[in-house]
A and B are shown apart, each in its own frame.
Chain A
Amino acid sequence: MSPEEPKPEAAPEPEAPKASPRVVGYCRACGKPLDETNVRNAHGTIYCEEHIPVQQTVPPIPAMPESPYTSPYTAPVPPPGANHDASPGLAFVLGLIPGVGAIYNGQYAKGLVHVIIIGLTISILSNDAARGFEPLLGLLLAGFWAYMAFEAYHTARRRQQGLVVDEFSSLFPMRGGANKFPAAPILLIVLGVIFLLNNLDLFQVERIIRYWPVLLIGLGVYMLYARMSGSSENGGAQ
């Protein structure tokens, strides 16, 4: 006896489903046995015809177009992914707590990265590891704190409008930058080389990095130059 035929009377007529309907499952709600004619799929499981959930059987979009101005469901403005529960103001307030703003937006990995950055900066500031860089690190900390809040605000607004929010949106330019100058990898490599040379005592970074405020001056001069040249171009065009 082969194991494929447990019932001897079912084996000779496999092509007669009307005479003996083959049971494919049981209703999730009432337990009634279901064959292929009355089984209904909903929420990843099966139901009988009486107990299927209502929102699966009645899609609201085709039923509504008679009166589009009275129904909020057929308004053309929100795309299907729009989330009206996302409040930008609440996201801003929660964004003042490190990582919580990103968690509110459902971006858990980004929240973890925010917490790690804030924690590392505070721990560097609070022991003596930052020798002479307390102003720079303090400015960076304050700026990053404000960045977290505003980033959570803008992400919540994008979610509210139904736009697609990437997991690491506006944290790193992860993709789509194939045509741009590869700034982030080169910055990583340069930083790694500088730290390695410093650690192997081949190159004294502290002697040079003592003059870091020169960077601020240089940045200001560059911005001034860009603005002056841009305004002169605009003035020439007008």
Chain B
Amino acid sequence: MTPGLLCAVRGPVMLITLGVLLSIDHFGTVSFARTWPVLLIVFGIFKLAERSSVRSSQ
């Protein structure tokens, strides 16, 4: 994965994650107030992947 591809993919994947969490909230199993830290985890994983791809490309 190149860093540019990771940067391009990050926003859509975050949006998809948010949509999945909100639909889980809407259909009533787990509320969004309990699952929002998944967004933090996904964002952190993306930053980690970006950093490792930059290091491998250098």
Contacts and interface: CB of A to CB of B under 8 A. Distances in A.
Nearest to A196: B37
B40 A178 contact: no
Contacts of B44: 185-189, 192
Contacts of A196: 35, 37-38, 41
A118 to B, nearest CB: 21
What interface size band does chain A fall in? 10 to 19
Interface residues of B, number: 19
Contacts of A178: 51, 54-55, 58
Contacts of B55: 178-179
A205 to B, nearest CB: 11
A191 interface: yes
Contact of B47 (A179, A185, A195): A185
Interface in B35-56: 35-41, 43-45, 47-48, 51, 54-55
A177 interface: yes
Contacts of B51: 177-178, 182, 185
B38 to A, nearest CB: 6
A184 interface: yes
A195 B44 CA distance: 14
Interface in A186-215: 186-189, 191-196, 199-200
Interface in B12-58: 30, 33-41, 43-45, 47-48, 51, 54-55, 58
A200 B48 CA distance: 25
Nearest to B57: A178
A78 B36 CA distance: 49
A184 B41 contact: no
Given A178-B51, A178-B55, A178-B58, A192 B40 contact: yes
Contacts of B36: 195, 199
Contacts of B33: 199
Contacts of B41: 188-189, 192-193, 196
Given A178-B55, A192-B41, A199 B47 contact: no
Pick the most buried of A177, A178, A179, A193: most chain B CB atoms within 10 A of its CB: A178
Interface of B: 30, 33-41, 43-45, 47-48, 51, 54-55, 58
24 contacts: A178-B51, A178-B55, A178-B58, A182-B47, A182-B51, A184-B47, A185-B45, A185-B48, A186-B44, A186-B48, A188-B41, A188-B43, A188-B44, A189-B40, A189-B44, A191-B37, A192-B37, A192-B39, A195-B36, A195-B40, A196-B35, A196-B37, A196-B41, A199-B36
Interface of A: 177-179, 182, 184-189, 191-196, 199-200
